[in-house]
Amino acid sequence: MPDIQITKAKANLWSKLGSRATYGMAVLELSKEYEDLVVLTADTSTSAGLDRFRKSCPEKHVEVGIAEQNMVGIAAGLASEGLRVLTSTFAPFQTMRCCEQIRVNLGYMQHPVRMVGLASGVVLGPLGYTHCCVEDLSVMRSIPNITVLSPADCSETAKATAAVLAHDGPVYMRLTGATNSPVVYAEDYDFEIGRAVRLRDGDDVTLIATGMMVHESLRAADLLCEQGIDAAVLDMHTIKPIDRAAIAAACRASRLIVTVEEHNVVGGLGAAVAEVVATLRGAPPQLVLGLPDSFGKPKDYAQILADAGLTAASICEKTRHALQIQ
C-alpha cells in the first residue's frame, strides 16, 4: 500500500500549514501512485489545499462548483466505473447537505467514494454554526457500510489519506483544527484503519480521544500525573469500525473511561465507545466530554473549546472529580 512517511521536519511543516493543506499535499504526493485517481471539489480546491494538485494534474481534478449533492452523485458514478474517487468540501455540506446521496449512492450501493470533510468541529466558529460541523460523526457512522475516520493531527491526516485511498469502500474522513496546530506524531508509525493507537500507559483512567482533542488529552494526562493520577491515552482515529479490543482492554485496566471529542456529546465518539462498554461485564463508568447539544453563537475557535470545557485543565479537573465520586 502506498504510504507517506513522517519525519520531524515534515510534522513541523504540516503543523504550521494545518490539516487541510496537509491533506492537499498528501493527495499530490499519492497521485503519483494512482493513475486512476480523480478528485472532486465543490468550489473548494483552494480551501482543501489542492491548488498545486489541480495545476499539476488537471486531468485528475473535477470542479463541480457549489453543488455538493451533485458532487456525490458524480463521484458515485465515476467510482462505479472503476475510478479511485475523492471528494472534498466543508464538513457540514459534505455530510448533512449530501446525506441522502451518501446513504443511497455510497452506503446502500457501496460505491467506494472517499469523502473528506474540511474544517469540521468548531474551527470556523467566527462564521457561525452554519459553517460549524458538530454532528458529522453521528450522521456518518449511522449509515451502513461507511467507514469513519478522525485524524489526531496533521501527520495522522497524511497517513490516513494514504490509507483511505487504499481502502476498498466508502469512507468519510473528518479534518479538524486550524493552522499552527499541535503535533502528536513527530515520528513515523503504523496507521491502520480500525486500530487505535495507545499513546500513553496508565492504570487509573483511560482518556479515549479523537481529532485535535488527542493532543489536549495528552496534556490533561500530564496534569493528572502531577496530582498522582495515572492516565492512559488512546488515539481513536477510527470511529467506525471502532476498535472494540482496545476499548475492552482499557476497561479491564482502568477505574474510569473518559471520551473527549470536538463533536456534539450525542452520537459521536462517546456514544460509539459507550455502545461497546455496555456489552462488557464489570466495565467501569464512562465520562463523555464534548460540545454541548445546542447551537452556540459565533465565537473564536479557542473560546468555543474553552466554554465547552475542552481544554487540558478542564479535562483534568472533570476527570479528577469523576474519580473522586466513585
For every one of its 326 residues, what pLDDT tens digit does the chain have, with 9 covering 90 and above? Answer: 899 999 999 999 999 999 999 999 999 999 999 999 999 999 999 999 999 999 999 999 999 999 999 999 999 999 999 999 999 999 999 999 999 999 999 999 999 999 999 999 999 999 999 999 999 999 999 999 999 999 999 999 999 999 999 999 999 999 999 999 999 999 999 999 999 999 999 999 999 999 999 999 999 999 999 999 999 999 999 999 999 999 999 999 999 999 999 999 999 999 999 999 999 999 999 999 999 999 989 999 999 999 999 999 999 999 999 998 76
Please list the alpha-helical segments (H only) found in the chain: 8-17, 19-30, 51-56, 68-80, 91-92, 99-101, 136-141, 154-166, 213-226, 244-253, 269-277, 301-307, 312-324
d(CA 125, CA 144): 30
C-alpha cell at 29: 504526493
Is residue 167 located within the same domain as residue 202?
no
Q: Between the CA of residue 310 and those of 183, 246, 259, 261, 323, what are the distances in Å?
A: 17, 23, 11, 8, 18
Whether residues 247 and 135 fall in one domain: no
Which of 109, 142, 174 is the last residue before a domain boundary?
Answer: 174
What 8-state DSSP symbol labels residue 93? I
The answer to pTM > 0.85 is: yes
> What is the count of structural domains for the chain?
2
**Of the residues 68, 135, 216, 262, which is catalytic?**
68
Residues 244 and 302 in one domain: yes
In a domain, 186, yes or no: no
Task: Tell me: do 206 and 295 sit in the same domain.
Answer: yes
Task: Supply angle C-alpha 163, 169, 175, rounded to 5.
Answer: 50
Q: Which three cell numbers stand for residue 316?
A: 483534568
Digit-coded pLDDT (tens) for 93-124: 999 999 999 999 999 999 999 999 999 999 99
Same domain, 203 and 166: no
Q: Is residue 184 domain-resident?
A: no
CATH code where residue 219 lies: 3.40.50.920
Same domain, 206 and 292: yes
Q: Same domain, yes or no, for 217 and 143? A: no
Round to whole Å and give the CA distance between 192 and 159.
9
Q: Are residues 58 and 141 in the same domain?
A: yes
Q: Are residues 21 and 151 in the same domain?
A: yes
Domain end residue (candidates: 174, 205, 234): 174
Say whether 187 is catalytic. Answer: no
Tell me which residue range forms the domain holding 248.
197-324
Q: Which residues contact 84 (CB under 8 A, 6 or more apart)?
A: 34, 36, 37, 38, 112, 114, 165
Answer whether residue 190 is part of any domain: no
